[in-house]
Structure 1
Amino acid sequence: MDTTYALRRQEIVGAVVAPRVRDVVDRWPALLIESQVVAEFHRINNVNLRTQFYKELDRHTPRLITLFRDKAIKTGKIAEELAKLMRIYDIREQHDVNTRRALVLRALPVYLREDASMLFRTCDSADGPDLTDTPVALLTVVTDDTTDSALFSPESICIVIEDEILVNGPTNLAESFLLLFGYIYALDLQYPKKLELTFTFIQKVVMCLEDNKPLKGRLLTLKNDLFNE
């Protein structure tokens, strides 16, 4: 994969018409292996995807949860959605690092007033919902159809790209999100239109990948709140 990297990027990024993801992974099946997605991300950005993601996500998690709690006690639809997530989190007997990460990743788009319903999909079997018009998604398969199960106890999490299940990701939500983020770079995909703030936050604040574009609006406010406690 190292020796064929330049050719692969030319085929993915340099093509006049972007190839279908299925065609790309059929030609480069190693991209279906988690370790190779992480390696490809490093080739593109010279950043260790897993190390950077968890280091910065965990660093910001306490402050983010505080911001979510402060918002949850106010009024309005966003406050209600955050309050629901916080209640589910609070009633759990054990709050380990994985549950905290899952909470932050699910609450972040809510806090930024974005619609994550097409990203975080849930079903009770792997052949569950209609995936038409689903550019990217994390499809959580559960046996117990509750928000608690979807958040913290999934049976599996499938990574969906271009309307089909590409791989079965880790059952850990943060790890599956990390892998999806890696695929976005490895396959040169666009961020979901309704979640540009969320993914830009991951890109710039968590992964520290700059694109020389200034942060605006809600995202700038969130970043200032994080760093100016």
Structure 2
Amino acid sequence: MLAISEDDNVHTRRACIFRSLCAYLNEDHEKLVKEYLDTDLEVDSNMEETVMGVYVILKDGALPDDDPHDIGVLIEGVEVLTCLGNIALACALLFGLIYCLDLSYPAELKCTF
């Protein structure tokens, strides 16, 4: 929640709300939104292991109010959507894809979904 005190815009607030919702429901927010650095060598292998979620690739050395390098949606380890503007949009599109493709919700996020 430190991000809100440093960057008070609507996109930051929405991202914090999604993370807070997971915490309130006693679930790990890292299961829904995963953050990676653009210099991390294991990003691709970690993303391939992800069943379903939102990824955020941050620029190395960036400040909290800087825009991320990329935000997207992963389903079964495949980047389904890329270059999304913010985390809230990515989560909304993930919910829509789950509904449209008639996918099962992840068991570790059963309360969030």
* Structure with the largest fraction of helix: 1
Normalising by structure 2, report the TM-score: 0.80
What's the secondary structure of 2:35's corresponding residue?
strand
C-alpha contact 1:159 1:169 (8 A) present in aligned 2: no
1:116 equivalent to 2:29? Answer yes
Instruction: Note the 1:135-146 alignment, pairs <5 A.
Output: 135-144=51-60
> 1:91 maps to what in 2?
6
Shift of 1:123: 1.6
Distance 1:134 1:145, change over 3 A: farther
RMSD: 2.5
Q: What residue in structure 2 maps to residue 100 of structure 1?
A: 13
Q: 8 Å contact 1:139–1:158 — kept in the other structure?
A: yes
Change in 2 beyond 3 A, CA 1:99/1:197: same
Q: Which residue of 2 aligns with 1:157?
A: 71
Q: How many equivalent pairs are there?
A: 110
Q: Secondary structure at the match of 2:110?
A: helix
User: Contact 1:120/1:137 (CA < 8 Å) preserved in 2?
Assistant: yes
Name which structure has the greater RCO, CA cutoff 8 Å, separation 6+: 2
TM-score (norm 1): 0.43
Higher strand share: 2
Partner of 2:101: 187
Percent identity of equivalent pairs:
31
> Which runs of 5 or more structure 1 residues have no equivalent in the other structure?
1-84, 200-229
1:131 Cα deviation from its structure 2 partner: 2.6
Cα offsets for 1:2-32 (capped at 9, x unmatched): xxxxxxxxxxxxxxxxxxxxxxxxxxxxxxx
